Structure 1
């Protein structure tokens, strides 16, 4: 009997492409606030943005959504886009930036394998800013599955990373 197909372990999610209602407002959020850089513009209807010169991590377009209402909290669609920061200090830095401008944070959590800050973009799309804990700190059940949970993230302790 043939083994079930498994995706290659090196596979990663390359980018997310979002329909937005106002391109400039989204660029203000993803570039001016979160620090992504524009790599390509397609007129006034679409933009690709990235971290570190990659062709794009996030695509933004108004092709089918210009001036449409925000994404609904209930219903089908994208739950959130997750942006992985390389260090806990980097997560603390963006969290502090959000605090400084009083940006609304919808939540935070320690998931056992990661620590996360949650917010929404201007179109009400969920955004998770997170840092993965070192793999040696991850915990596993007896059957080999990961132990993940949503516990309170000590945000004051997180900020100590940049003090």
Structure 2
């Protein structure tokens, strides 16, 4: 038993409270390919009395081999929080390749789901979305394909590189379709191409 060294556990899952379980699970299924592995509670459970089970519905979802990555708890009457206060700012999901990220953007656009912000950060490219409750969900890709190199870039960015450059995803897709490699696209971003000229969002 280790009692002296700080053990570094990996992040397994997070939980969200919502007032609209069905819309939330549908969105995460569409965007991230989540599967509902467990669901309990029933419609009207909060009004049916203590013998009917918990006064809420819940769904446990995952998009890999882990039993659940997100758990949603539905509390009747809960609304998205529009107030400005301290709390979790966003959650991020990493894709294996630049093409996977761009392909997901195109697929989601076809479903009417658009990013609120897209940016090049050097070590990663990020697409920021909002779920039905307004929670910020980031989809990204490691531009180096190596966590150690990406961390070194974050700590010591190349001279002259901005920390974050807003970009137009349509221009990224067009360049890739024209045959530009991901590496060439990143260089062209820092050379001033692919600037974001309009706001994306629903």
Normalised by the length of structure 2, the TM-score is 0.65
User: Which structure has the larger Rg over C-alpha atoms?
Assistant: 2
Deviation at 1:162, TM superposition (A): 6.8
The alignment of Structure 1 onto Structure 2 pairs a total of residues equal to: 154
Equivalent residue for 1:92, pick from 86, 99, 102? 102
Equivalents in 1 of 2:133, 2:100: separation in Å? 25
Specify the alignment match of 2:25 in structure 1. 27
Deviation at 1:59, TM superposition (A): 1.0
Instruction: Please state which structure has a larger fraction of its residues in helix.
Output: 2
Does 2:123 match 1:113?
Answer: yes
Specify the alignment match of 2:73 in structure 1. 61
Normalised by the length of structure 1, the TM-score is 0.79
Deviations for 1:90-134, whole angstroms, at most 9, x for unmatched residues?
111211122112324210111111111111111111111111122
Deviation at 1:60, TM superposition (A): 0.8
Cα gap change, 1:161 to 1:139, in 2 (>3 Å): same
Alignment RMSD (CA, Å): 2.8
Cα gap change, 1:66 to 1:87, in 2 (>3 Å): farther
**2:155 alignment partner, SS class:** coil
Equivalents in 2 of 1:161, 1:73: separation in Å? 40
Equivalents in 1 of 2:58, 2:6: separation in Å? 34
Q: Structure 1: which 5+ runs fail to align?
A: none
Cα gap change, 1:14 to 1:153, in 2 (>3 Å): farther
